[in-house]
Amino acid sequence: MKPTNQHSTVDRRMKIMQKLSVNDQVFVNELSKEFGVSEVTIRNDLEQLESKKLLIRARGGAMSTSHVVSFDQHLGEKHKLNMPRKTAIGKAAAKLIKDSDTVIIDSGTTTLEIIRNLSSALNNVTIISNALNIANQLVSNPNINLIIPGGILRKNSLSLIGPLAEKSFRNFYVDKVYQIMIDVAREVIIVTDSSKFLRRSLAFICALDRIDTVVTDDAILPEDKKRLEDAGINVIIA
């Protein structure tokens, strides 16, 4: 007997979860080809699995919940990791912000270093951030216009997330974006220490062809640097 659509859907979602248990990450385009269904169908699968708290959706795919727990360490613990490199990256990235720029900055210890190293001579800069620790650094800066979108507080990273936050971000068109809300940005800049290139996590930020600049440290592997440059990305070594 030919299986019903319902049975096919259940089977497909079970296989998706099996893949996550092995690889920690899955990609919509790969799943679409493998199962012979549309990307819309796969996205619906991931949405339903996320609603049951079985995975976390990310741009272009999904991550297992165990991967997210290990990756999204408590902010205080993350702040201790690779700090000299993150400080250097933050200083280099801060120089990319110019007068009258509108910039989205995501939560994170490296992006916090950008804020700490902004030039005091900047004028009329608007920063949009979903990160409470970043907002706290900016409240006393008279030269920065600060916009904080709504959302649900993720306490580990002190960031506002969820549909409300995403909807708020889409109301803006910005000059530069650091790590989030790629679709509304004119220029996409990724700031990350070189250890991140040992994971596939960069692919979940956005496709390489949407990235303009990567600011990282001198421990990046030559093959990773070449891969980025071959994709037309400007790589700045802090």
pLDDT in tens, 17-64: 988 887 778 889 999 999 999 999 999 999 899 888 888 887 788 887
Query: What does the chain come to in residues?
Result: 238
Q: In 20-60, where do the E strands start and end?
A: 25-27, 55-58
CA-based nearest residue to 197, from 230, 173, 226, 174: 226
User: What is the CATH number that goes with domain 5-71?
Assistant: 1.10.10.10
Residue range 75-237, CATH number: 3.40.50.1360
Q: Where in the chain is the domain with CATH 1.10.10.10?
A: 5-71
| pLDDT (average), residues 68-77 | 49
| Residues forming CATH 3.40.50.1360 domain(s) in the chain | 75-237
Q: Residue 61's beta-bridge partner residues?
A: 27, 58
**Range of weakest confidence among 95-99, 172-176, 215-219:** 172-176
pLDDT digits (tens, 9 = 90+) for 117-138: 998 889 999 998 888 888 888 8
